[in-house]
Chains A and B, each alone.
Chain A
Amino acid sequence: MSSTAIQIISRSKYYNWLVKNLFSSWVNTILTVIALIFVYQVGSFFLNWAIFDADFRYNFQGELIIDRGFCSKNIMPGEYGACWAIIFARWNQFMYGLYPIEEAWRVNLIYALLPLAIIGILFDKIPFRRYFIYFTFIFPFLAYFMLYGGPGLSVVGTNKWGGLLVTLFLGVTGIGLAFPLSILLALGRRSKMPIIKSLCVVFIEFIRGVPLITLLFTANVMLPLFLPDGVNPDNLLRALVAVTLFQSAYMAEAIRGGLQAIPRGQVEAAQSLGLSYWQTTRKIVLPQALKIAIPPIVNTCIGLFKDTSLVLIIGLFDLLGIGRAALADMTWTKLYYEVYVFISLVFFIFCFGMSRYSLYLEKKLKTDNS
């Protein structure tokens, strides 16, 4: 190779990047080679299993898969990978649970409207944001009417709800209900009134000190004992109570962090202008505190969304519950990896999306403040 060619290569951006990041020393070069082998092994194994050697709706002989006996890997063990047919066969259950299939359009409509309902909260520079916010406030009532039923629509009891519907319902409603509650708790914890303060502290620390599963058990077993006859909330509602209380304690701590970051001067200035406590809080403190607290709030929301999978233990059929029910079916049993990988992927998409959003906000806040 001529010397000019070497010069050109050594000057090239890619070459420099490679040397700096992968081959800077002989130790690094060995590490790179090991890592490459590792990535190749794991990657090719997974891709072959999940895509190239996998059955989707039809097996490798072209037959429609109707039970696990048709999976290529059961016909020719060791030659083929995943059998995703279980996901297709159970698709409706994963999405709607036991919701009557002729009514599933109602759930689909709510799934489609959900992004519209939250987009106004997530982004502050979209056109017509005000109307989106109005829609956010109408949405819960609309969703309740569409999902549960009412005049003009047949009633679908929550015992028929399941799959992604329950996961999203608990996640979104839990967060929505916990938000106002958590603001009150956070303010209460910083209140100067000792009784209110200690009530809030005890509540928050108690909830944060026990596992969610014990709260779910308590709500499930004990709520009926606490309530008068005739008032008998169904399982989903009981879980919702537990989830909301749980989330409000965690969110309150995130908001308290935001409140603590507001300089005292802000409150003092507002007071010297003659604003009352609630005016100061609503117009001066909260708008600033919430803005700072959004990234940690989003993190608690990710946590809650993942924790909704726990309702399986009290007998609700969320995404994971439906997955386990599918595996309990004799025609499909033993396809563990397919089911759990699929569920993981669904959760990953939602949670990763939320964490990206939180990063975006952090970046935005940094530029806003400087």
Chain B
Amino acid sequence: MQTNFFRKIIFDEKSRSLLIQTLVIGLFALFIYLITQQTAYNLEKRGISSGFDFLHISAGYDISIRLIPFTSEDTHLRAYFVGLLNTLMIAVCGCFLATIIGFLVGIIRLSSNWLFRNIAYVYVEFTRNVPVLVQIILYYSILLNLPKIKQAIVIFDNFYLTNRGFFSPSPIFKDGFSIVAWSLVIAIIFTFFLKRFLKKKQEETGKQYPTFMINSAIIIFTPIIFYYIMGMPLEFDSPVLKGFNFKGGMVIRPEFLGMLFGLSIYTAAFISETVRSGIISVSKGQREASQALGLKSNFIMRLIIIPQALRVIIPPLTSQYLNLTKNSSLGIAIGYADLVHGFGGISLNQTGRAIEIMMMVMLTYLTISLTISFFMNLYNKSVQFKGNA
């Protein structure tokens, strides 16, 4: 009886797997228990208090790059949101720029011109084989070595490039500008429905409409018309040199530009490779068949090649966006006030709540990552083969 029981545990697959899992979960629980005990003990011994009450104390430091108002009297919680917004800002701008450069370089890599193709190749190899942190620091030091404010490089009279950043006129919105903005939103929504309507019409009658041209015209001209109807409710405030600094206008700081260049130039190299392999993956027969049907070459690209290439491009593109977002945490190396630099660095040093703060930072990144992959998966589903599982 006794031996039978052991035999069963060892040789029966079901009970054996139950045993192993019980053991694993037991060990895991023990591990967690020991660590929490030890941590509690260590915290007490060092006199570190815990809890999230620190979020409501004033932070006591200033953040120069911010999207929402922030002063040193504001709370750590607000510092968290300032950092989060900065992280999201650099991630969105970086992904946008990286996608543009990446697609351009990816297409140039397939050019029939040998020299062009190889310039792109050299760019890709040199940027993707050098750590992004080295690149960020390198671009940042180039930006810091630009001329001083007194000798600023002037572009189009109102834009100034200096070692303190890029100064440009800032828009001043007057009454009625919100109507112009809303007209743009409504125009975009309208074109969306118009596109559906025209496509339906095309399927019924076979007649082709210049949908793209019509929609572009609507999107461009509606806000312009409203802009003049409302009496041009937009003015620009140009930066003017006063003393040692510019007054007025707005400035893009070198920290932001360094991050933007570093992240997008680095990630673009990877994106260009996925774009290239995506376009190559569309078989030659597809192009030949569409030529045989008499399609024009831009239609071949738009209707045949790109939709099929996107299926291959989207999944790796998603992971590149994720990488860029995670790499935006390197802002700490050059003082870009993102989540890790402000909240995860200065707040942590001031309050000493390492566990709480690192937990919050990590969970935030995890949420951002999961959100990006969720939306990209949705988009991916929409471009995959339909009914071909």
A residues with CB within 8 A of B: 21-22, 24, 28, 31-32, 35-36, 38-39, 192-196, 199, 206, 208-214, 217-218, 221-222, 224-228, 302, 306-307, 309-310, 312-313, 320, 324, 336-337, 340-341, 343-344, 347-348, 351-352, 355
Interface residues of B in 160-193 (CB under 8 A from A): none
Closest 4 CB pairs of A and B: A21-B114, A351-B129, A306-B131, A211-B329
Complex CA–CA separation, A348 to B125 (angstroms): 9
Q: Across the interface, do A24 and B112 meet the contact criterion of CB distance under 8 Å?
A: yes
Tell me how far the C-beta of B316 lies from the nearest C-beta in chain A, rounded to whole angstroms.
11
Quick one: which of B111, B115, B132, B141 contacts A336, CB cutoff 8 A?
A: B141
Tell me how far the C-beta of B364 lies from the nearest C-beta in chain A, rounded to whole angstroms.
9
Complex interface: chain A residues within 8 A of B366 (CB) = 206, 209-210
Known: A218-B358, A312-B333. A32 touches B115 (CB 8 A): yes
Known: A217-B358, A309-B131. A211 touches B25 (CB 8 A): no
Complex CA–CA separation, A341 to B21 (angstroms): 52
**Interface secondary structure of A, over-half rule:** helix
Complex CA–CA separation, A28 to B114 (angstroms): 10
Digitize B348-359: 1 where CB-to-A-CB distance is under 8 Å, 0 elsewhere: 100000110010
Q: Across the interface, do B348 and A221 meet the contact criterion of CB distance under 8 Å?
A: yes
B152 at the binding interface (Cβ < 8 Å): no
B220 at the binding interface (Cβ < 8 Å): no
Complex CA–CA separation, A341 to B340 (angstroms): 27
Q: Please give 4 more A-B residue pairs, beta carbons under 8 A apart, in addition to A214-B344, A221-B358.
A: A31-B115, A310-B133, A320-B131, A344-B138
Q: Across the interface, do A31 and B116 meet the contact criterion of CB distance under 8 Å?
A: yes
Quick one: which of B20, B28, B126, B365 contacts A193, CB cutoff 8 A?
A: B20
Complex interface: chain B residues within 8 A of A302 (CB) = 129
Q: Across the interface, do B138 and A28 meet the contact criterion of CB distance under 8 Å?
A: no
Interface residues of B in 63-120 (CB under 8 A from A): 111-116, 119
Known: A209-B366, A227-B38, A344-B138. A352 touches B129 (CB 8 A): yes
B306 at the binding interface (Cβ < 8 Å): no
Complex CA–CA separation, A90 to B348 (angstroms): 34
Q: Across the interface, do A32 and B113 meet the contact criterion of CB distance under 8 Å?
A: yes
B residues with CB within 8 A of A: 17, 20-21, 24-25, 28, 35, 38-39, 42-43, 111-116, 119, 125-126, 128-135, 137-138, 141-142, 145, 326-327, 329-330, 332-333, 340, 344, 348, 354-355, 358, 361-362, 365-366, 369-370
Q: Across the interface, do A348 and B130 meet the contact criterion of CB distance under 8 Å?
A: yes
Known: A35-B116, A195-B25. A320 touches B358 (CB 8 A): no
Quick one: which of B39, B344, B358 contacts A226, CB cutoff 8 A?
A: B39
Complex interface: chain B residues within 8 A of A221 (CB) = 348, 354, 358
17 CB < 8 A contacts A-B: A32-B115, A195-B25, A206-B366, A210-B365, A210-B369, A214-B361, A217-B358, A226-B39, A306-B131, A324-B137, A337-B142, A340-B137, A341-B138, A347-B129, A348-B126, A348-B129, A351-B130
Complex CA–CA separation, A348 to B131 (angstroms): 9
Q: Across the interface, do A344 and B130 meet the contact criterion of CB distance under 8 Å?
A: yes
Q: Across the interface, do A306 and B130 meet the contact criterion of CB distance under 8 Å?
A: yes
Tell me how far the C-beta of A219 lies from the nearest C-beta in chain B, rounded to whole angstroms.
10
Known: A22-B115, A225-B354. A340 touches B17 (CB 8 A): no
Complex interface: chain A residues within 8 A of B369 (CB) = 208-210
**Closest partner residue, chain A, to B18 (CB atom):** A193
Q: Across the interface, do A355 and B129 meet the contact criterion of CB distance under 8 Å?
A: yes
Complex CA–CA separation, A352 to B126 (angstroms): 9
**Closest partner residue, chain A, to B40 (CB atom):** A225
Q: Across the interface, do B133 and A340 meet the contact criterion of CB distance under 8 Å?
A: no
Complex interface: chain B residues within 8 A of A320 (CB) = 131, 133-134, 137
